[in-house]
Amino acid sequence: MPGTVVITGASSGFGEAFALAFGRLGHPLVLGARRTDRLAKVAEAARKAGSPRAIALPLDVRVRESIHKFAVAAELETPEILINNAGGALGRAPVAEVEDDDLVGMIEANLTGLLRMTRELLPGLIRRKKGHVINISSLAAHGVYEGGGVYAPVKHAVRAVSQALRLELSGTDVRVTDVAPGMAETEFSVVRLGSEEKASAHRPGRVRRRRLGSDPSTAREHLGSGAHSDRPGGAHQGAPQVALTGPWEDPIFLRPGARRRHRRAHVLHRASHDRRLRRHRDAFRLRGRARSCGPA
């Protein structure tokens, strides 16, 4: 039977899409979120989709005790995959005006909670010599924009955590993946700005929007297959559309050819980064062999 998948922030958006996608593949699920009523519905939908077992547990990644209690229950299911999906943005105030609650909330939800959850479940994955940690960052981890002075740096940090984990877990058979979503229809903007009206008013009309499909279930299949994003709107009503609320509002992204040049630069940067990771990994392996062989 496929291994158990642990998903944080599973009550809607990407978390719900992950639950349904892995459910269709026959994986047992452990789902966590604050909105337990919606989480129970997602768990039921995952069971109907094909999951042999889907457990819904309360989880607030901003609270250490909640993380510990959730992780203890999840470890009983012998997890094989951890998806650190919980997080989000609060407001679009510049750094000089950001509220302290929003600042701390974004750091705790996106970074501190991810580190604590990973710390709780990672020893079991290492001990079983089998596992996969998937961290959901953002395209904001590869750039910055006005009004993202807290959210973008935090997502940069999530990306750095994934890179560090890859080095630390070399040789353990535990894989690490960082998913950097772009644009899709979730509740991201509604949560960030406080209401659907504000989220709708914030979406620029001059940029063409890409439809994910005329059926919400089709959109969720699309999200679950790898075309992920954390740019929102309202996840469950009507035909999903892309909502632009990030660095894509910068006029430079609207110039002819700008997106193509940006993508090419990112691909080149990624290739260079992968080469550096391989060099680090090989160095660690050689060092480990030298230690195991001992003096001649």
Joined tokens for residue 268: 């080149």
Q: How far apart are CA 189 and CA 12, in angstroms?
A: 13
Cβ density class 30-67: b for 16+ within 10 Å, e for less: bbbbbebebbeebbebbeebebeebbbbebbbbeeebb
Estimate to the nearest angstrom the gap between the alpha carbon of 37 and the chain centroid.
22
pLDDT at residue number 259: 58
pLDDT computed for residue 268 by the predictor: 67
**At residue 217, does pLDDT exceed 70?**
no
Spatial contact of 209 and 182, defined as CB atoms under 8 Å apart: no
Reported as a single tens digit per residue, the pLDDT across 141-174 is: 888 878 888 989 999 999 999 999 999 999 999 9
Q: What is the pLDDT of residue 218?
A: 38
Whole-number pLDDT of residue 290: 59
Mean pLDDT across the chain: 77
3-state secondary structure of 239: coil
- 94 versus 22: the higher-pLDDT residue is 22
Give me the pLDDT at residue 146, please: 83
What is the assigned CATH class of domain 4-250? alpha beta
For the chain, percent of residues with pLDDT exceeding 70:
67
Q: Tokens 């009507």 appear where?
A: 238
Q: Which SS3 state, helix, strand or coil, does residue 204 take?
A: coil
Q: Residue 285 carries which DSSP code?
A: H
**Phi and psi for 32 in degrees, rounded to 5?**
-130, 140
Which residues are within 8 A (CB) of 13 and not within 5 positions of it... i.e. 6 or more apart? 186, 187, 188, 230, 232, 235
Amino acid at 274: D
Catalytic residue ranges: 151
- Residue 17's alpha-carbon distances to 43, 108, 140, 249, 281, in angstroms, are 11, 23, 21, 26, 33
